[in-house]
Amino acid sequence: MLQEAIPDLAKYVEPDRVRREVYTDPDIFELEMQRIHEKVWIYCGHETQVPKAGDYYTVQIGRQPMLMVRASDGSIHVLYNRCPHRGNMMCGDRKGNAGEFFRCSYHAWTFQHDGRLRSIPMMESGYSGTPLNKESPDCSMKRAARVENYRGFVFASLAKDGPTLKEFLGKAIVAFDDMCDRAPEGKVEIVPTCFRVIQHSNWKIFLENQLDALHPSVTHQSTGRAAHEVEKEIAKRTKKGEAPLSYHMLSAFATVTIDKWDAFQTINYPYGHCILTGYMGLRPQDPDTKAYDQLMIKAYGQKRFEEIVGVNIHHVLIYPGLSVQSQLQQLRAVRPLSVDRTLTEIWHFRLKGAPEAIYRRSLAYYNLVNSPSTLINADDLENFWKCHQGLSSDGGKWVSFARHLGRDLEKDGVVETAPNCGTSEAPMRNQMKAWAEYMRG
């Protein structure tokens, strides 16, 4: 039916521009949920969010309310948060522990952690002679079609067919390798609460902003300048002439000017994933970093240590739902709520085996750059809302992604921006290319 409502999707996306309805039409949003979010691999959460048997965490995949749950054998399952009896939601809380089994609050049907029916009150007398019995699938909680765990990061796909998680991630898998490899123990642990922000804009506006290297020194200039002034003042007062790294996290928005952003590079992969190379050079020589380096060398040896900390990426975008900053141990998960409302969950992680000071650095970035309490985030949110308002008007039909068009270097389906084209809109072109492929069905 939706396909009939949107007969010619091709007319909405050209290589360098997109029709505004792609962001504002509720029918297109419904089709996106069906063909993209409820099909591809979506990040559910980290395994350390559910450490004990019975622990669950709720998560939205497309339009579907889901549960990520740990079973007593240690396995993790992703289930629809719905009772098969009369449809009651199984868990009304965001997270919790179900105990030894799930028990529906309405008529006490109970289920194993993997969703299989455990009991129905007086089942024999109540259901003899009916099509329902303990084995019938209609009596169990429905599971996500596929679930995979990569280095602790749990993904689910609601489609039974499609690429494996590794095939889907391709080279963007570096987001998780880079984050985990930076831990002396080779794994990370989630900090168990996140910021949740509801943006009054379409979900794609957020994703397009993540690798938009043109905007930081414009949108965040005033915040960066103010931080830079304070940074200089503090540096003047210290013996070594240095301010804490956290000031640099903000001042870089002003000191890295537009022309400098062109020096970085984006690499654009199949399925809409993209990488932005590093810009902050997070290898300071303070005592905390040196202590961390020693632990890493002990764990991995000098050669492997150099390889690990030599990975130079600032941002990995995993389309359509995840933006990862592995070097600062954080990620933002995107959960579309409606055509003009988007939830983002902002999470950060601890490197297992690393000193507390390294965690504090991650926390500083989390609070100063990604949290809703910082001006950086507010700068972006204001743009997102204003973009959505502008796109809802009759002031124009198209959104342009033409910057540095025709200068991309393409090889084997991977598009690299040419030297000195870091502010290219190639990542947006790449995302919309994937969008169009998914939407064609």
Residue 203 in the binding site for ligand FES (CB under 6 A)? no
Residue 78 in the binding site for ligand FES (CB under 6 A)? no
Residue 126 in the binding site for ligand FES (CB under 6 A)? no
Of 226 and 308, the one with the shorter C-beta distance to Fe ion is: 226
Closest CA to 348 of 323, 381, 375: 323
The DSSP letter of residue 142 is P
Of 90 and 368, the one with the shorter C-beta distance to ligand FES is: 90
Report the nearest approach of Fe ion to the CB of residue 380 (Å): 4
Of 110 and 221, the one with the shorter C-beta distance to ligand FES is: 110
Binding part of the chain for ligand FES, among 36-44, 100-108, 145-153, 426-434 by CB under 6 A, reads 100-108
Residue 88 in the binding site for ligand FES (CB under 6 A)? yes
Of 83 and 316, the one with the shorter C-beta distance to ligand FES is: 83
Q: Find which of ligand FES, Fe ion, none residue 380 binds, CB within 5 to 8 Å per kind.
A: Fe ion
Of 43 and 109, the one with the shorter C-beta distance to ligand FES is: 109
Pair of tokens at residue 75: 């396995």
Report the nearest approach of ligand FES to the CB of residue 106 (Å): 4
Residue 106 in the binding site for ligand FES (CB under 6 A)? yes
Describe the crossing of helices 426-440 and 203-210 by its angle, rounded to 10 degrees.
140
Residue 85 in the binding site for ligand FES (CB under 6 A)? yes
Q: Which amino acid is at 189?
A: E
Q: Find which of Fe ion, ligand FES, none residue 212 binds, CB within 5 to 8 Å per kind.
A: none
Position of tokens 């868990």? Answer: 91
Residue 407 in the binding site for ligand FES (CB under 6 A)? no
Residue 110 in the binding site for ligand FES (CB under 6 A)? no
Of 107 and 200, the one with the shorter C-beta distance to ligand FES is: 107
Report the nearest approach of ligand FES to the CB of residue 72 (Å): 22
Closest CA to 257 of 210, 213, 195, 309: 213
d(CA 204, CA 199): 11
CB 199 within 8 A of CB 385: yes
Q: List residues near Fe ion by CB under 5 A.
A: 380
Of 76 and 120, the one with the shorter C-beta distance to ligand FES is: 120
Interface residue with ligand FES among 28, 83, 354, 376 (CB under 6 A) is 83
Per rule CB under 6 A, count of chain residues that contact ligand FES: 8
Residue 138 in the binding site for ligand FES (CB under 6 A)? no
Of 79 and 83, the one with the shorter C-beta distance to ligand FES is: 83
Residue 15 in the binding site for ligand FES (CB under 6 A)? no
Residue 109 in the binding site for ligand FES (CB under 6 A)? yes
d(CA 253, CA 258): 10
Neighbours of 4 (CB within 10 A): 6
Residue 42 in the binding site for ligand FES (CB under 6 A)? no
Measured over the CA atoms of residue 350, residue 351, residue 357 and residue 363, the dihedral's sign is: negative
> Which residue number is nearest to Fe ion in terms of Cβ?
380
Report the nearest approach of ligand FES to the CB of residue 88 (Å): 4
Q: Which residues fall within 8 angstroms of residue 292, CB to CB, at 6 or more apart?
A: 354, 355, 357, 358
Describe the crossing of helices 245-255 and 356-365 by its angle, rounded to 10 degrees.
30
Of 18 and 90, the one with the shorter C-beta distance to ligand FES is: 90
Report the nearest approach of ligand FES to the CB of residue 107 (Å): 3
Q: Which residues fall within 8 angstroms of residue 5, CB to CB, at 6 or more apart?
A: 27
Half-sphere exposure of 79 (CA within 13 A, CB side): 28
Report the nearest approach of Fe ion to the CB of residue 220 (Å): 6
Closest CA to 339 of 48, 63, 5: 63
Report the nearest approach of ligand FES to the CB of residue 109 (Å): 4
Half-sphere exposure of 252 (CA within 13 A, CB side): 16
Across 236-393, the runs of DSSP E, i.e. the strands, are: 266-268, 274-277, 313-318, 322-325, 330-338, 341-351
d(CA 383, CA 366): 20
Binding residues for ligand FES, rule: CB under 6 A, are: 83, 85-86, 88, 104, 106-107, 109
